C-alpha cells in the first residue's frame, strides 16, 4: 500500500527541495566547480566572474594561503613557497618526483623517514594532500556563495590512470576541505557524460583527454543511456606542461643560453613558453624574444619540436584500440578534453589517426567539470539514476600470490567497476592454520614482475590435511576505484580483510612499462608459469608418496620402493634444472610406478570402512 500526501484545500504542494551538490575538476593547471542551475549544469564563477581557478597555492608566514591567479602571478618572485601542478605530486614519493623533475624549486622535508614529498614553506611543512585541500576549499567557498548554502556532496574527477594511492589522497584532500565525496569520477567518463546526455550520439566514443599535466584515452560504448568503458590508457606525466618544457629548451638553445637558470627564471621561462604555445593555437607563426635574442616560431617548427610528445599520445590510442579489440573504423566519435587539445598539432594528429574530425562542441577546459556536475546532481538525488548508468573500468589487473610466486589474477584489467569477484584457495601443507595473502597489481605471471599492494594474514584455519581447507578470497573495487580484499575460511567463517591504501602510487612510466612488459614477455611468462606449476605439482606428488610410505610402508614392496626412489631422484633433479615437459613426463612415470601401491592402500582403506557391516546393510544404505 502506498502512502498519500494530504494537503490543505487550495494550498499549492510544496516544491521538492533541491539538494546542493557540485562537480569539481581538480586539474593540474586549472580547477573548476560546476552545479546544476535551472536549465543545465554551469561553471560557477568567483566574485570577479572568473570561472577557471589556477591550481597554484602560495604560502605566507602567519597568513592564510593564497590560491589562484594571484598565487600564479607571484610564483616568479617566490617559487619556493608557490606550489604549481600539485596534482603531479599526489601518490608519489619524494625520490620519484625529483627523478621526474630535477629542477623542481621546492625544498622537501628530509626528516620524513617514509619518503613522503612534504614541502617546506614559510607557513610550515605542507604535503600534496594539504595543498590540494587548500585548492578545494576555495572551490567549496565559491560554490557555497553561488548556491547560497552549505554543500551536501561533491563529485571530484581524477585521471582514469590514477592508481589507488592517488585516488585515496584525492579523497583525503576533500575530507580535509570538509567536502563529502559522493564519487571519484574518471575524467574521460565525465566528458562522456557531458556529451552523451546533450546529444543523441550512440556507438563507440574515444575520449582523448590531454590536460596540463596528465593524459588519458578512454574508449567508451554509449548505448541507450549506458556509458561503459571498454578500455583505457594514459600517462600521468604527460600534458601541456611538457609541451611548454620543449619550448623552454628550444628558447634556451636558440638564444645560446648557457648555465643553470634560477628557479624564478625557470618559472618565468615556463610562463613565456605557455604564452607562446597559446598564441600558436590561433596563429600560424609567432614572433619570439628571450633576453637579447629575437626569432620566429611557426606551426611547422612547433610540430617538429613536439613530434615525440604527439606520437606518445597516438601510440596510447593504438594500445587502447588493441585492448578493446576494435579498429579505427569502429569508432563513431572522438571527444577532445583538456586545454592542451586546443593545439592544432594535437587536433590534426587525432583527426589523421582516426580518419574523422573530433568533437569540440563543449569547451575542452570545462567539459570534465560539466560531466562531474551532471553526475553530482544524479547521485545527490535531484535526478533519477535511471537517466544513465556509468560503468568504469580498472586500469591494471589485480591478483594474489599463490605457491611458487605465481600471480592468480582475480580482477583482470579493463574490468567494469564497481565489481566484486571471489575465488577459492586452499592450504599447501598438512595442519596449516595460517595463510599469508599478498595482493599484487600488474599483468605479468610472476610476483616479482608485478607491484606489491598489500599483505595480510588469515589466522584460525582449522588444522586439516593439505588441500582440504576452503578459503574464499574476495576482491572488491568500489566506484572510486579503491580496493578491499577479504579472506574467509568457509567451515568456521573466520575472516580477515584489508583496505588497500598504499602510500605512493606508480608513475606513468611504470604503468606503461608494466603493460609493455606483459606484451613483450607474454610467451616467456607463460613458459615460466608452466614450469612453476609443474614444479609445484611434482613437489606435491613427491610429498604425498613420502607421507604414504611413512604411514603404510608395509604395503610397499622392495622392488617398487627401489623403482620409486629412482624416479623420485630423477624428478627432483628435473624440478631443479629441467623443463616443464620433462617434469610432467617424470611425474607421469612416478604415478605409473606407484600405481599398484596406491591401489593396495585404497583397498585397505575401503576394507577398514566396510569392516563389521553386512552386504544387506550396504545395499540398504544405497537404496536410501
pLDDT band at 609 (very low <50, low <70, confident <90, very high): low
Q: What's the rounded Cα separation, in Å, for the pair 341 and 335?
A: 10
Among 102-116, 245-259, 577-591, 595-609, name the one with the lowest average pLDDT.
Answer: 595-609
- Average pLDDT in the 375-395 region? 67
Q: How much is the pLDDT for 421?
A: 83
Q: How much is the pLDDT for 398?
A: 86
Q: How much is the pLDDT for 57?
A: 95
pLDDT at 28 over 60: yes
Q: Which residues of 2-23 are buried (b: 16+ CB within 10 A; e: fewer)?
A: eeeeeeeeeeeeeeeebbbbbb
Read off the pLDDT of residues 277-331 as tens digits, 9 standing for 90 and up. 999 988 999 999 888 889 999 999 999 999 999 999 999 999 999 988 999 999 9
Three cell numbers at 272?
613565456
478, 419, 390, 510: which is closest to 168 by C-alpha?
A: 478
| 248: three-class secondary structure by DSSP | helix
For residue 18, what is the DSSP state? Answer: P
Q: What is the CATH number of domain 394-520?
A: 2.60.34.10
How far is residue 377 CA from its own chain's centroid? 25
Q: What's the rounded Cα separation, in Å, for the pair 501 and 232?
A: 22
Read off the pLDDT of residues 246-259 as tens digits, 9 standing for 90 and up. 999 999 888 887 77
Q: Which residue has the higher pLDDT, 576 or 121?
A: 121
pLDDT band at 458 (very low <50, low <70, confident <90, very high): confident
Q: Is 92:69 a contact under the CB 8 Å cutoff?
A: no
Residue 359 CB contacts under 8 Å (≥ 6 apart), including other chains: 195, 333, 334, 335, 336
Share of the chain above pLDDT 70, in %: 83
- Topology, domain 523-610: Substrate Binding Domain Of Dnak; Chain:A; Domain 2 (1.20.1270)
Residue ranges per domain, the chain? 21-239+307-392, 240-305, 394-520, 523-610
pLDDT at 602 over 80: no
Q: Which residue has the higher pLDDT, 288 or 447?
A: 288
pLDDT at 51 over 80: yes
Task: Find the DSSP H helices in 75-185.
Answer: 94-100, 128-147, 164-176
For residue 214, what is the DSSP state? Answer: -
Q: What's the rounded Cα separation, in Å, for the pair 31 and 339?
A: 12
Q: What's the rounded Cα separation, in Å, for the pair 71 and 619?
A: 90
Q: What's the rounded Cα separation, in Å, for the pair 498 and 495?
A: 11
pTM: 0.60
Among 160-169, 423-432, 559-568, 603-612, name the one with the lowest average pLDDT.
Answer: 603-612
Q: Is 340:346 a contact under the CB 8 Å cutoff?
A: yes
Read off the pLDDT of residues 416-432 as tens digits, 9 standing for 90 and up. 777 788 888 888 778 88
- Average pLDDT in the 60-89 region? 90
| Residue 507: φ, ψ to 5° | -80, 170
pLDDT at 15 over 60: no
Q: Is 504:93 a contact under the CB 8 Å cutoff?
A: yes
pLDDT at 503 over 60: no
Whole-number CA gyration radius for the chain: 31
pLDDT at 124 over 60: yes
> Mean pLDDT, the chain, as a whole number?
80
Q: What's the rounded Cα separation, in Å, for the pair 339 and 29?
A: 9
Among 256-265, 400-409, 506-515, 522-531, name the one with the lowest average pLDDT.
Answer: 506-515
399, 407, 335, 378: which is closest to 479 by C-alpha?
A: 378
pLDDT at 389 over 60: no
Q: What's the rounded Cα separation, in Å, for the pair 309 and 139?
A: 32
Task: Find cell 587502447 and name the residue.
Answer: 320
Q: How much is the pLDDT for 35?
A: 93
Q: How much is the pLDDT for 411?
A: 85
How far is residue 194 CA from its own chain's centroid? 22
- Average pLDDT in the 340-351 region? 94
Q: What is the CATH number of domain 21-239+307-392?
A: 3.30.420.40
The per-residue DSSP string of 297-325 comes to: EEHHHHHHHTHHHHHHHHHHHHHHHHHHT
Q: How many CB atoms lie within 10 A of CB 249?
A: 12
Residue 607 CB contacts under 8 Å (≥ 6 apart), including other chains: none
Q: How much is the pLDDT for 16?
A: 44
pLDDT at 12 over 70: no
Share of the chain above pLDDT 90, in %: 27
> Which one of 192-196, 365-369, 392-396, 494-498 scores highest in mean pLDDT?
365-369
| 347: three-class secondary structure by DSSP | helix
Read off the pLDDT of residues 155-208 as tens digits, 9 standing for 90 and up. 999 987 787 788 889 998 999 999 999 989 888 788 878 876 434 556 888 989
Q: What's the rounded Cα separation, in Å, for the pair 161 and 168?
A: 13
Please classify residue 428 by burial: count the beta carbons closer than 10 Å to its beta carbon, then call 0-12 exposed, 13-18 middle and 19+ buried.
Answer: middle
| Residue 336: φ, ψ to 5° | -95, 130
Q: Which residue has the higher pLDDT, 126 or 14?
A: 126
| Residue 618: φ, ψ to 5° | -65, -45
pLDDT at 591 over 60: yes
| 453: three-class secondary structure by DSSP | strand
Q: How much is the pLDDT for 198?
A: 39
pLDDT at 2 over 60: no
Q: How much is the pLDDT for 13?
A: 39
pLDDT band at 68 (very low <50, low <70, confident <90, very high): very high
Any idea which residues carry the catalytic annotation? 25, 87, 187, 209
| 51: three-class secondary structure by DSSP | coil
Residue 252 CB contacts under 8 Å (≥ 6 apart), including other chains: 261, 269, 290
Residue 25 CB contacts under 8 Å (≥ 6 apart), including other chains: 31, 32, 33, 34, 157, 187, 190, 368, 369, 372
pLDDT band at 373 (very low <50, low <70, confident <90, very high): very high
pLDDT at 4 over 50: no
pLDDT band at 108 (very low <50, low <70, confident <90, very high): confident
Q: How much is the pLDDT for 255?
A: 87
Three cell numbers at 354?
582516426
pLDDT band at 34 (very low <50, low <70, confident <90, very high): very high
Q: Which residue has the higher pLDDT, 614 or 26?
A: 26
pLDDT at 128 over 70: yes
Pairing of strands 181-186, 153-158: parallel
Q: Which residue has the higher pLDDT, 150 or 622?
A: 150
pLDDT band at 135 (very low <50, low <70, confident <90, very high): very high
Amino acid at each position: 500500500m502506498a502512502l498519500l500526501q494530504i494537503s490543505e484545500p487550495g494550498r499549492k504542494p510544496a516544491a521538492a527541495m533541491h539538494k546542493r551538490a557540485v562537480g569539481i575538476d581538480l586539474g593540474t593547471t586549472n580547477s573548476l566547480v560546476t552545479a546544476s542551475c535551472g536549465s543545465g549544469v554551469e561553471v560557477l564563477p568567483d566574485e570577479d566572474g572568473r570561472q577557471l581557478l589556477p591550481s597554484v597555492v602560495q604560502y605566507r608566514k602567519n597568513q592564510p594561503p593564497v590560491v589562484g591567479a594571484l598565487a600564479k602571478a607571484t610564483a616568479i618572485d617566490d617559487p619556493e613557497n608557490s606550489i604549481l601542478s600539485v596534482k603531479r605530486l599526489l601518490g608519489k614519493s619524494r625520490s620519484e618526483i625529483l627523478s621526474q623533475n630535477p629542477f623542481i624549486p621546492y625544498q622537501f622535508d628530509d626528516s620524513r623517514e617514509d619518503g613522503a614529498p612534504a614541502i617546506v614553506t614559510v607557513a610550515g611543512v605542507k604535503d600534496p594532500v594539504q595543498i590540494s585541500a587548500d585548492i578545494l576549499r576555495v572551490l567549496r567557498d565559491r560554490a557555497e556563495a553561488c548556491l547560497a548554502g552549505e554543500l551536501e556532496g561533491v563529485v571530484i574527477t581524477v585521471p582514469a590512470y590514477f592508481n589507488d594511492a592517488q585516488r585515496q589522497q584525492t579523497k583525503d584532500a576533500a575530507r580535509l576541505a570538509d567536502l563529502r565525496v559522493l564519487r571519484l569520477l574518471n575524467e574521460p567518463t565525465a566528458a562522456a557524460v557531458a556529451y552523451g546526455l546533450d546529444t543523441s550520439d550512440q556507438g563507440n566514443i574515444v575520449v582523448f583527454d590531454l590536460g596540463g599535466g596528465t593524459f588519458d584515452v578512454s574508449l567508451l560504448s554509449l548505448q541507450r543511456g549506458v556509458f561503459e568503458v571498454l578500455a583505457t590508457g594514459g600517462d600521468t606525466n604527460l600534458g601541456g606542461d611538457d609541451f611548454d618544457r620543449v619550448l623552454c629548451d628550444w628558447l634556451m638553445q636558440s638564444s645560446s643560453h648557457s648555465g643553470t637558470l634560477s628557479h624564478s627564471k625557470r618559472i618565468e621561462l615556463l610562463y613565456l613558453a605557455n604564452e607562446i604555445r597559446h598564441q600558436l593555437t590561433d596563429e600560424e607563426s609567432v614572433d619570439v624574444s628571450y633576453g637579447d635574442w629575437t626569432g620566429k616560431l611557426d606551426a611547422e617548427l612547433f610540430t617538429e619540436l613536439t613530434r615525440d610528445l604527439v606520437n606518445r599520445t597516438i601510440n596510447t590510442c593504438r594500445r587502447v584500440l588493441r585492448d578493446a579489440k576494435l579498429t579505427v573504423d569502429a569508432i563513431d566519435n572522438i571527444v577532445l578534453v583538456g586545454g592542451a587539445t586546443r593545439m592544432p598539432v594535437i587536433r590534426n594528429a587525432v583527426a589523421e589517426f582516426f580518419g574523422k574530425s573530433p568533437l569540440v562542441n563543449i569547451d575542452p577546459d570545462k567539459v570534465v567539470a560539466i560531466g562531474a556536475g551532471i553526475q553530482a546532481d544524479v547521485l545527490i538525488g535531484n535526478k533519477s539514476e535511471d537517466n544513465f548508468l556509468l560503468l568504469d573500468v580498472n586500469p591494471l589487473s589485480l591478483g594474489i600470490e599463490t605457491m611458487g610466486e605465481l600471480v592468480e589474477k582475480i580482477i583482470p584489467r579493463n574490468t567494469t567497476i564497481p565489481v566484486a569477484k571471489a575465488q577459492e584457495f586452499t592450504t599447501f601443507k598438512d595442519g596449516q592454520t595460517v595463510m599469508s595473502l599478498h595482493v599484487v597489481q600488474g599483468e605479468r605471471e610472476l610476483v616479482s614482475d608485478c607491484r606489491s599492494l598489500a599483505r595480510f594474514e588469515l589466522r584460525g584455519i582449522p588444522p586439516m590435511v593439505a588441500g582440504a581447507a576452503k578459503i574464499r578470497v574476495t576482491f572488491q573495487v568500489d566506484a572510486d576505484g579503491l580496493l578491499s580484499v577479504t579472506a574467509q575460511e568457509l567451515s568456521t567463517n573466520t575472516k580477515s580483510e584489508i583496505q588497500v591504501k598504499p602510500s605512493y602510487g606508480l608513475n606513468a612510466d611504470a604503468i606503461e612499462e608494466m603493460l609493455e612488459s606483459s606484451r613483450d614477455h607474454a610467451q616467456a611468462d607463460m613458459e615460466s608459469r608452466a614450469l612453476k606449476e609443474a614444479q609445484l605439482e611434482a613437489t606435491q606428488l613427491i610429498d604425498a608418496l613420502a607421507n604414504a610410505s611413512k604411514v603404510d610402508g608395509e604395503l610397499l614392496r622392495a622392488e617398487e620402493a627401489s623403482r620409486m626412489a629412482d624416479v623420485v631422484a630423477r624428478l627432483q633433479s628435473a624440478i631443479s634444472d629441467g623443463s616443464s615437459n620433462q617434469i610432467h613426463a617424470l611425474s607421469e612415470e612416478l604415478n605409473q610406478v606407484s600405481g599398484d601401491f596406491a591401489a593396495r592402500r585404497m583397498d585397505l582403506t575401503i576394507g577398514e570402512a566396510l569392516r563389521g557391516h553386512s552386504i544387506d546393510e550396504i545395499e540398504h544404505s544405497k537404496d536410501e
